[in-house]
Amino acid sequence: MLTWSQLETFCNDGQLVRWKAGERSLSVGGRGLYMLTDVHSRFTERPWPDASDEDPRRTRERRGAMRNVLERYVKGQAIRLNYDLKELGTLNRDQGMRGYWEFRSQGPMTETRLFGFVPLPGAFVATDFQSRAEFESAADWAAQRAACGQRWDSLTSGAPFMNTPWPVDGRSALAAYLDRADD
């Protein structure tokens, strides 16, 4: 597994950006959310996925919805399994998707997904950001997983990501991925 120091080094090298939850909010017991540089750019810049035909107010709401999920994550607050954060191999016991996660913003507006891997407990590395509507078939999900896997390997030279305990189907299993472990 990677270490916190390695993650910070990736940031210093410009390969990752550590996402910050607002400028002035307190953060206690925080976790680390890192995004590949281009993912961070797409997340922070307009337009968001599928926003072209959307009511601008709706777009603002769903941007706020996703940011609030991420804010709860980095501040060490409540994260709901399968609503806020989902391990994508668990439902179908799919070993090919094992250890691959998504942050989710809920409807009714167009939902978004922030995909990535858990390098160590309490940290998340986002490797892509997409609209949920992009994925219609199992092949779409498999292609997305493969692309994200390549990006992870490119960043870390193939370092392992967390994939145990598995399946992640309860609060205690989720806590193993959320509760921060220090180097």
User: Sign of the C-alpha dihedral, residues 99, 10, 42, 33?
Assistant: positive
* Residues 6+ positions from 58 with CB-CB distance below 8 Å: 109, 110
- State the residue for tokens 């967390």: 162
Question: Closest CB to another protein among 65 and 176?
Answer: 65
Q: How buried is residue 157: exposed, middle or buried, by Cβ count under 10 Å (0-12/13-18/19+)? A: exposed
Question: Closest CB to another protein among 15 and 106?
Answer: 106
Shortest reach from residue 69's CB to another protein, in Å: 8
Residue 74 CA to residue 63 CA, distance in Å, equals 17
Which positions lie near another protein, rule CB under 8 A? Answer: 4-5, 8-9, 11-12, 18-30, 32-33, 60-61, 63-65, 67-69, 71-72, 74-75, 77-81, 83-84, 106-109, 170-171, 180, 182-183
Shortest reach from residue 100's CB to another protein, in Å: 22
Say whether 130 sits in a helix, a strand or coil.
strand
Shortest reach from residue 111's CB to another protein, in Å: 9
Question: Closest CB to another protein among 22 and 96?
Answer: 22
